[in-house]
């Protein structure tokens, strides 16, 4: 085993991860966060899955999450409707998969401009390639939620950063010359994601101008029926409703 300690002058998690990706010489890469714990058998299980799956693009597993109040729950991985689950459930969290190094590089690595939800954004680019997947139905990682994590514990604390990630995805879709069905699924989801953020801002009593601009973005390209649906979803989420994505896009 060779361990290399690298130094990256550009601040931010994405820059550090890209520096590591550039130095990788192995066929597979796994990114991992400092506040989480890897089960001792993870690498062994991953190697078995690589052989079993005939060198798949992704190897994925389950994770246990420990919230800031000590509550524990299992974060499973859904092998069916991979794109749908990444769009609405962000199942490709940083600690929950490894991928071919060539795949990470082919999709462009981590986006330095995405200061939040960067694993969601990278995951969307990965699923858009229709990767082959080998699933390990075991908990191999413990994720410890932190009040000072990149995602944070409130929406208004990261005001503007989620919107930036949405714009990055929107721009990426606009530059796609041959969109496939997954690109179309992502495009369809963006208004819902925007209305979701707007409703959380409103519920947390963030400045009205902030969530109104997001509502305007969500409604801008929607059909008349979709506009009615998005306005209803805004009020539903504003009142504390959960799992609203089921109302926007029925699960596969």
- Tell me the per-residue pLDDT of 69-111, one tens digit each, with 9 for 90 and over: 889 999 878 878 899 999 999 999 999 999 999 999 999 999 9
Is pLDDT of 151 > 80? no
Last residue of a domain, one of 99, 115, 144: 144
Query: Domain span at residue 51?
Result: 13-144
- Tell me the per-residue pLDDT of 11-62, one tens digit each, with 9 for 90 and over: 999 999 999 999 999 999 999 988 899 999 999 999 999 999 899 999 999 9
> 188 and 124, same structural domain?
no
Question: What pLDDT does 77 receive?
Answer: 80
Question: What pLDDT does 35 receive?
Answer: 83
> 140 and 17, same structural domain?
yes
> 42 and 137, same structural domain?
yes
Q: Which residues 6+ apart lie within 8 Å of 240 measured at CB? A: 203
**What are the φ and ψ backbone dihedral angles of 224, each rounded to 5 degrees?**
-55, -40
Our count of domains for the chain comes to 2
> 186 and 111, same structural domain?
no
Is pLDDT of 252 > 50? no
d(CA 227, CA 218): 8
In a domain, 81, yes or no: yes
Q: Kindly write down the DSSP assignment for every residue of the chain, as one continuous string.
A: ---------S-SHHHHHHHHHHH--SSEE----TTEEE-TTHHHHHHHHHHHTTS-SEEEEEEEEE-TTS-EEEE----SSHHHHHHHH----GGGEEEEHHHHHHTTS--TT--SSHHHHHHHHHHTT---EEEEEEEEEEEE--TTSSS-SSSGGGTTHHHHHHHHHHHHHHT-SS--HHHHHHHHHHHHHHHHHHHHHHHTT--HHHHHHHHHHHHHT--HHHHHHHHHHHHHHHTT---THHHHS---
Is pLDDT of 169 > 70? yes
In a domain, 3, yes or no: no
> 133 and 195, same structural domain?
no
Q: Which residues 6+ apart lie within 8 Å of 4 measured at CB? A: 23
> 160 and 93, same structural domain?
no
> 140 and 209, same structural domain?
no
In 3D, which of 147, 150, 245, 146 has the Cα closest to residue 196? 245
In a domain, 1, yes or no: no
Question: What pLDDT does 190 receive?
Answer: 95
In a domain, 218, yes or no: yes
């Amino acid at each position: 085993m060779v361990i290399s300690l690298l130094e990256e002058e550009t601040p931010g998690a994405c820059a550090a991860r890209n520096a590591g990706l550039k130095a990788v010489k192995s066929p597979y890469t796994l990114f991992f966060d400092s506040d989480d714990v890897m089960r001792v058998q993870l690498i062994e299980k991953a190697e078995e899955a690589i052989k079993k799956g005939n060198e798949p693009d992704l190897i994925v597993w389950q994770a246990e999450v420990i919230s800031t109040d000590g509550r524990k729950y299992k974060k499973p991985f859904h092998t069916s409707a991979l794109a749908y689950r990444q769009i609405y459930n962000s199942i490709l969290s940083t600690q929950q998969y490894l991928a071919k190094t060539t795949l990470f590089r082919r999709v462009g690595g981590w986006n330095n401009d995405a200061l939040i939800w960067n694993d969601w954004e990278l995951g969307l680019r990965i699923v858009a390639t229709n990767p082959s997947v080998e699933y390990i139905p075991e908990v191999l990682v413990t994720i410890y939620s932190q009040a000072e994590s990149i995602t944070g514990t409130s929406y208004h604390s990261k005001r503007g950063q989620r919107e930036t990630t949405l714009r990055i995805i929107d721009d990426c879709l606009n530059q796609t010359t041959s969109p496939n069905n997954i690109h179309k699924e992502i495009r369809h989801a963006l208004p819902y994601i925007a209305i979701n953020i707007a409703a959380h801002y409103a519920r947390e009593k963030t400045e009205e101008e902030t969530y109104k601009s997001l509502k305007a973005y969500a409604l801008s390209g929607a059909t008349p029926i979709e506009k009615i649906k998005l306005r209803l979803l805004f009020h539903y989420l504003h009142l504390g409703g959960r799992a609203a994505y089921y109302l926007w896009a029925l699960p596969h």
